[in-house]
Chains A and B, each alone.
Chain A
Amino acid sequence: MASDTSETICHTDSAHHVRARIVSHDQVAEATWRIRIDCPEIAAQAVPGQFAMLRIPDRTDPLLARPLAVYDTFSDGVGIRYADFIYLVHGRFTTALSAARPGDELTAWGPLGNGFWLPPAEHLVLVAGGIGQTALFALARERLGKARYGLPHRDPPAARQVTFCWGARHAGMFADVKDFRGAGCDVHLATLDGSKGTKGTVVDLLDTRFAGGIDAATTRIACCGPEPMMAAVSRWAHARGVPCAVSLETPMACGIGICFTCVARIRDADGGWDYRRTCVEGPIFDAECVEW
């Protein structure tokens, strides 16, 4: 069922639809690319956890845009102007996008979605699976006081410590881990094949990292990755009483609430659930509200 649009914050009210020049476009890991586009309207407004829709213009195949988390934003010395996105090549759009070159133009609309707004936490634990780190990096920088986001800048409570736990299939899939280290995160990696870090899943990594316990009163978790991974992290957090926010990665066709593609089962106050559009009501949800 649809949500009350009238009561939903309409993120499209402040979103911009622009032609954006590709500034740089580089492969940063196996099947993983980092693209920087010139889009001051979007970049200046974006806050951690928000996304933009990117499309290859003037062609019908691929037809639609794709939602990509805003990884970080950059200034041209005058003001915030550029937005970076990191994506995994795994379908018709991302395959086509990976062939685009600096100087080419994309269409983009955003920033979209609710973004992270976590209550104060002394210790923020970021948990990523696969390409899920892209939704978490700006949050790490913001909470560690390394960057400010939004227009006007928002001023969230700082974290004393940010731990970043990232699980991937194998060592070749980690892209720009140095960014997280550079921001001051305590970085821990896991791979399914043991080629880097802990051998196992990111939940195995959490078990190892927090073998001595976790202080539920001062810790919060923010998580992004494949749905089964987020479900597992949510269960892990729930069992320890640690608040957990998840960034859902449901497929989207429009990103602005008009197509009703991206629904997820979100719990109602009465104990039932309803399909909610992750693009306009999310993508960030309290993990306790998600019917996995």
Chain B
Amino acid sequence: MSHPAGLPPSPPDLSVTLGRLRLPNPVLVASGTFGYGREMAGMVDLKRLGGIVPKTITQLPRKGNVPWRTVETSSGLLNSIGLDNDGVDSFLAKQLPWLLGCGAPVIVSIAGATLDDFVELARRLDDVPGIAALELNISCPNVSHGVDLGNDPGMCQRVVAGVRAATALPVLAKLTPNVTDIVAVARGAQDGGADAVTVINTCQGIAVDWRRRRPLLGNVIGGLSGPAIKPIALRCVHQIRRAVDIPIVGVGGIMTIDDCMEFFVTGASAVQIGTANFAEPVASARLLDELPAAIAELGAASLREIIGTLQLPAALAACQLSTASPAHHAT
């Protein structure tokens, strides 16, 4: 511990820098798992949060997918909501004003089917005062085309570059794990000028009622979240951290303070709490309460000191830098 004996430890510095975006602390809430913030005001002191990423918006209203929209699976939640939202005009008029007054940085999540959709939305939001950053949802597995932009490193780069040209706001690119090489897509985001990458969106899956011989989700295929995907998310953070220079926002199955710390040590500069908000609406506030002690346990005076400090076996360290696929390594 760095504090003099006999004096209480000073709280660790929790501030986070994600490219041009500065946040007071690393505990954010993930898009699609916190409504528009307003719904959670009775559960969480919103101004404590490092950032709120409200539900993804699109240019035009979308009704969303046919129920059932979620199914619980083993330690996980399979969803296919389908970007149900009222469109950017309604968001700006009815949701954002309240959200901007809640005291937490607001990172607006946007999605579109084409590069032009993203650019147009970014341009629209560029002159709205108070927005902290944009998160590009190029990775929603539940809408047509949504996953395509995030599947291809070149397309990812073009979308990020297009958005960068259209807005002065910091830009986070949210990546899908449903690709062969997520590192290549992360490089595309970096080359396009992203301030950070958000890693990961949901993992595609289905759930089946064998007695009725039917899929359980109305949209058949959905995205898996929750504790079941944490190892996948950590693997993606690990690989990207070692290959890309821009900061990483880790997301995927975080329920406990141990989960948060695993992401920080592996290489995430901040985390997003997602499915845990459903299972425990006060989770984000609880994790903020628990974070200082966990950082102190590592003898650190700031969060910054512990990010990406994962120690690898020497023999594997060099090898893992050279490839995206863990399948190449002996197990």
> Which residues of A are interface residues toward B (Cβ below 8 A)?
1-2, 4-7, 10, 12-15, 17, 55, 60-65, 92-93, 107, 109, 250-251, 253-254, 256-261, 263-264, 274-275, 280
Residue of B nearest to A264 (CB): B67
Q: A1-B61, A1-B63, A259-B33 are in contact. Are A109 and B43 (CB under 8 A)?
A: yes
B69 close to A261 (CB less than 8 A): yes
| Contacting pair B277 A6 (CB below 8 A) | no
Residues of A within 8 A of B61 (CB): 1
A-side contacts of B90, CB under 8 Å: 4
A10–B67 touching, CB < 8 Å? no
Contact check, B70 vs A5: say whether CB atoms are below 8 A apart. no
Number of inter-chain CB pairs below 8 Å = 130
From the candidates B42, B43, B84, B95, name the one contacting A6 in the complex (CB within 8 A).
B95
Q: Are A6 and B94 in contact (CB under 8 A)?
A: yes
Smallest CB gap from A59: residue in B? B75
Q: A1-B84, A17-B282, A260-B84 are in contact. List 16 more A-B contacts (CB 8 A).
A: A2-B36, A4-B90, A4-B94, A5-B39, A6-B94, A63-B227, A109-B43, A253-B70, A253-B72, A254-B278, A256-B35, A256-B281, A258-B277, A259-B35, A259-B278, A261-B67
Check B63–A274 contact: CB distance below 8 A: yes
Partner of A12, one of B36, B43, B62, B70: B43
For A93, list chain B residues within 8 Å (CB): 72
In the bound complex, CA of A13 to CA of B281 (Å): 12
Instruction: Give complex CA distance A60, B228 in Å.
Output: 9
Q: Is B154 an interface residue (CB 8 A)?
A: no
Contact-size category for B: 35 or more
The answer to whether B77 touches A263 (Cβ under 8 A) is no
Does the CB pair A6–B281 fall under 8 Å? Answer: no
User: Which of A1, A60, A61, A263 lies in contact with B86, CB distance below 8 A?
Assistant: A1
Q: A10-B42, A12-B39 are in contact. Are A63 and B68 (CB under 8 A)?
A: no
Instruction: Tell me if B77 and A64 are in contact (CB < 8 A).
Output: yes
Whether, in the assembled complex, B223 has its beta carbon less than 8 Å from a beta carbon of chain A, the answer is no
Bound Cα distance from A1 to B79, whole angstroms: 16
Task: Give the nearest-CB partner of B76 in chain A.
Answer: A63
Q: Which of B33, B67, B75 has the most CB of A within 10 A?
A: B67
Tell me if B264 is interfacial: C-beta within 8 Å of chain A.
Answer: no
Q: Mark B54-77, 1 if CB is under 8 A from A, else 0.
A: 010000011110011110101111
